[in-house]
Amino acid sequence: MTDAQDLRRRTAELLAAHPPATTDRLEFLRARFDAGLAWVHFPAGLGGLDAPRSLQAVVDAELAAAGAPDNDPGRIGIGLGMAAPTLLRFGTDEQQQRFLRPLWTGEEVWCQLFSEPGAGSDLAALATRAVRDDEGGWVVDGQKVWTSSAHLARWAILIARTDPDVPKHRGISYFVCDMTDPGVEVRPLRQITGEAEFNEVFLTGVRIPDAHRLGAVGEGWKVAQTTLMNERVAIGGARIPREGGMIGVAAADWRARPALRTHDLHQRLLKLWVDAEVARLTGERLRQQLTKGQPGPEGSGMKLAFARLAQEISGWEVEFLAEDGLTYDDWTMRRPDGVDFTGREAGYRYLRAKGNSIEGGTSEVLLNIVAERVLGLPPEPRTDKDVAWKDLPR
């Protein structure tokens, strides 16, 4: 069984064979993947060693101390946090071998084609259609929205309706879509921050081979649940040190500006600090549970807490900084590689945090998930669960 000592030995061997100071970055990342040190809990041959997930920290610490390059996780977060766990659970051997290595090294960026203009909070009501073609593949037509990184992505995880004659949750299938297909059109969506981190994506006659389907036909909702559960953990459950993240920035502002302090702001900051620490420790416990299997509905609670805290902390910071908190220096139309909450000005953080309660599942939907699947409360009445999708009002 792989233990911490064995991982340190393997890491030392990787560093000796591929010194970070003289090895090309991509070459090093590929070698790390092949050595099973990319994500140690993945199977051997797929970037891992079948080791406990908790031991990844041992490898990361050794490599960081040696100055080894990382895979720029902020840029490829959708691939790492959503596509990879889904491919691991539902992908064929061929799909895993084809997609996981370039996904982890960052050679191929991924995006998520789930939300639609008419099916945001009610994702199962999606209308994008996938129809069988004469060659056994699929032709996809529809529109997706709020697609982070679509302007960078080579591949997308996509859910589409393959059977309109059954209830909405049962007529969905899950695919891997090539974003370079000529039928894919990506348009920027300019946000309140001034930039276009999100996109809308139009799919017109996009052909997808059946070999790029994950899971059985009509069972896409089941596959999508794995993606969504991992997405919520990825958004709300990132590992940070004590007083890390946005609360760390707010605390640093407080210490640096004694002239702006008031008793009321101090009391509110203390409460936010405690809430952030509770959320951080809860996240640690959730990650320990992940070592035993796939994330469950508890990740929805973490994502809820993350969204609330991000909005409350950024609001506190803008109020504390007064006029200095109202502006930031780059309100221009850009298409960034990712989101940097702690490296930007308070005004940017305040505006961008408004999206935290929408992305990865709206807070309203997540409250229902926590109520029903974590607390065991009675579900809300739903009259559309046994009605064919084509008969639902739209």
Q: Where in the sequence numbering do the catalytic residues fall?
A: 231
Q: Which two tokens stand for residue 352?
A: 């961008």
Cα–Cα–Cα angle for 342, 347, 350, rounded to 5 degrees: 75
Euclidean distance between CA atoms 292 and 288, whole angstroms: 8
The answer to whether residues 174 and 224 touch, using CB atoms and an 8 Å cutoff, is yes
| N-term to C-term CA, the chain | 55
CA dihedral 191→193→195→199, nearest 10 degrees, is: -30
CB atoms within 10 A of CB 16: 8
- Strand partners of residue 198: 189
The answer to whether residues 201 and 180 touch, using CB atoms and an 8 Å cutoff, is no
How many residues can be counted in the chain?
A: 394
